[in-house]
């Protein structure tokens, strides 16, 4: 049973960057496609993009192009999401999730990122 464990909560200043990690335990890391989804406080789910580590391909939602970068470390079965030039409306819980057909399952526990001066 594959599990995704994410890094802890972050408090950031506007204009700074954040990196969130998502470590896989169980299963075959190189066979997975990972998506990143965020949820602003009291809001719905927003798909940010996906990474396919085995072919080192990344795809980004247009809204996040140029400001978000996904990377993968096969040696630790971990994927990362880095977001730059943070703004207050980037305050959200960020989730990683595995592709399940064209859906997402399982999900990581989420990482709360707070952007505030």
Q: Which residues bind other proteins (CB under 8 A)?
A: 35, 37, 44-47, 50, 59, 61, 95, 97, 100-110
- The minimum distance between CB 1 and other proteins, in angstroms, equals 10
Nearer to other proteins, 37 or 81 (CB): 37
Three-state DSSP class for residue 64: helix
Q: Closest by alpha carbon to 114, among 83, 98, 100, 93?
A: 93
| Locus of tokens 């592709």 | 99
Nearer to other proteins, 109 or 116 (CB): 109
Asked, as a colleague might, if the bond just before 106 is cis with ω within 30 of 0, I would say: yes
Nearer to other proteins, 70 or 104 (CB): 104
Residues 6+ apart with CB under 8 A from 42: none
């Amino acid at each position: 049973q594959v599990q995704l464990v994410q890094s802890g909560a972050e408090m950031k200043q506007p204009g700074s960057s954040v990196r969130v990690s998502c470590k896989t335990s169980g299963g075959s890391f190189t066979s997975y496609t990972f998506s990143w989804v965020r949820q602003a406080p009291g809001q719905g789910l927003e798909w940010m993009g996906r990474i396919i580590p085995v072919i080192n391909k990344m795809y980004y939602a247009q809204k996040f192009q140029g400001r978000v970068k996904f990377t993968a470390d096969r040696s630790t079965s971990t994927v990362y999401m880095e977001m730059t030039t943070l703004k207050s409306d980037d305050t959200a819980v960020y989730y990683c999730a595995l592709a399940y057909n064209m859906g997402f399952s399982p999900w990581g526990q989420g990482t709360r990122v707070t952007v505030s001066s």
